[in-house]
Amino acid sequence: AQGLKNMSIRGLKKKQPKTFKVKIITVDAEMEFSCEVLDQEIPKEDPVSFHFLAKFYPEKVEEELLQEITQHLFFLQVKKQILDEEIYCSPEATVLLASYAVQAKYGDYDPNFHEPGFLAHDELLPKRVLRQYQLTAEMWEEKITAWYAEHRGIARDEAEMNYLKIAQDLEMYGVNYFPIQNKNHTDLLLGVDAKGIHIYSINNRFSPNKSFEWSSIRNISYSEKELTIKPLDKKAEVFKFFSSQLKVNKLIFQLCIGNHDLFMRRRKVDSIEIQQMKAQAREEKARKKMENQRLAREKQLREEAERAKEELERRLFQLEDEARQANEALLRSQEAAELLAEKAQIAEEEAKLLAQNAAEAEQERQRLEITALKSKEEKRLMEQKMREAELIAVKLVKESDRRAKEAEHLKQDLHEAREAERKAKQKLLDITRINYPVSSAPLLDMMLCGATLSCFSPMCAPRLDYLEKSRKFEDRLKELKSEIHALKLEEKQAGLYSHWNEVLGSLDRSLGTVAALFQSKPLALLMIKYQKHEPF
């Protein structure tokens, strides 16, 4: 039993195959698993790495990439070739391609979610383009986002397909380049793609110097380092070129066979298997399109619901704000009403006060009007009295002039009388000295005195009348002045104060003139001597 057990263990050990680790690297993922060892050489690296890439490029991506996973992987491969500058693309086209790549990765643009800087960690443009234009990352992001916002509603597979449709028209799309030499040992580049074989200058990969379409090639053969292309036209020149390594020629030959085979297949009726695959792909695309439309519709409805909700919230907030403002306005209106009521009460009281003041003012106006009428009448009377006083003053001035002339005549007569008296005295003395003794002198004086009194007594009567009239006139003037002063106090409010000042000034001047006339020296002296009964 022990021997059988050992034999079974050894048998199991012999049956276990040898394996090795394999790493499959795709454009967006890596996978590791174990594989059995077959009759082939195995690289000594652990694990053995295999890069999963498309070897043959389709002519029309929309017709040939049937499955979504194939399309996605091919999109990632072409995108990496453009970013690594293996496929040349103009700066304008790279921005548009970047916008489709962003749409495929992030979906529809949402300014609330895709804030500035959301593309900071994404590689979207070739370094050559970034070096060519001195723009900041923010500027590039703004340009890409402007295109990205236009792709709203495009699903991921549609965005990737639009990217590939633009890429397949680029000059370097799907071309595998190999360094070769012609028979003259001139360095050239040989390019193989889905349309044929192209010969390029060593420094120009865009425009081929010579091209052989697959439909015009009859045969391709190689031996060691030489590769021969025979055109379908037998008269055409056979093209021969040389490569540096046998493996390169073998790879070129395999690419040519594969691309030629695909070229011919595309131009034939599809097989049943291909037709079924295309039908399934169309159905799948139609289903996905309907699903995308349904999702887009639901998304649109959600967005509309969100917008309606936001609008309702905004409207609610607006209504609340309007209600708050209305409430505040109501409070302000109430306060304003209370204030207006207070103002109305104050205005009513002021109106009453103004009415009272108006009544008082009307009474005052009537009183002033009566006073003005009275003052006007009194003014008229005073003007009349003033005119009478002026007339009296003029008469007095004339009378004083006449009296002054009479005084001058009297003075002359007095002088003549004195001279006659002196002469008569002297003559009388001379006579008495001769006829009478000295004891009779007093009698002579009495005689002379009596003679003097009897001589001048007729002249004294007019002067007494004149003095009496002057005194009465002065008394009348004083009375007028007193009346004017009394009226002046009453008329001061009626604006007649300055007028009565002029009247008083005029009367004062008249009184001054009369007083000056009465103060004339000859007349005063005559009056004094008359009152004392002194002899002239």
| pLDDT tier for residue 164 given thresholds of 50, 70 and 90 | very high
Residue pLDDT, tens place only, 103-125? 999 998 988 889 899 999 999 99
Residue pLDDT, tens place only, 363-417? 888 888 888 788 778 778 878 887 887 788 788 778 777 877 877 887 787 788 7
Q: Listing from the earlier edge strand, what are the strands of the sheet with 48-51?
A: 30-36, 19-25, 48-51
Lowest mean pLDDT among 43-47, 110-114, 168-172, 176-180: 43-47
Residue pLDDT, tens place only, 76-99? 999 999 999 999 999 999 999 999
Residue 245 CA: distances (Å) to CA of 18, 179, 251, 299: 34, 10, 10, 58
* Better-predicted residue by pLDDT, 201 or 416: 201
Q: Is 177:191 a contact under the CB 8 Å cutoff?
A: yes
Helix (H) or strand (E) holding 120: none
Q: Is 90 exceeded by the pLDDT of residue 142?
A: yes
Residue pLDDT, tens place only, 490-520? 555 445 445 555 555 655 555 555 445 444 4
Residue 334 CA: distances (Å) to CA of 129, 339, 344, 515: 70, 8, 15, 84
pTM, entire model: 0.56
CA–CA dist 54, 79 (Å, integer)? 13
pLDDT at 496: 47
Q: What is the dihedral of CA 469, 475, 476, 478, to 10 degrees?
A: 150
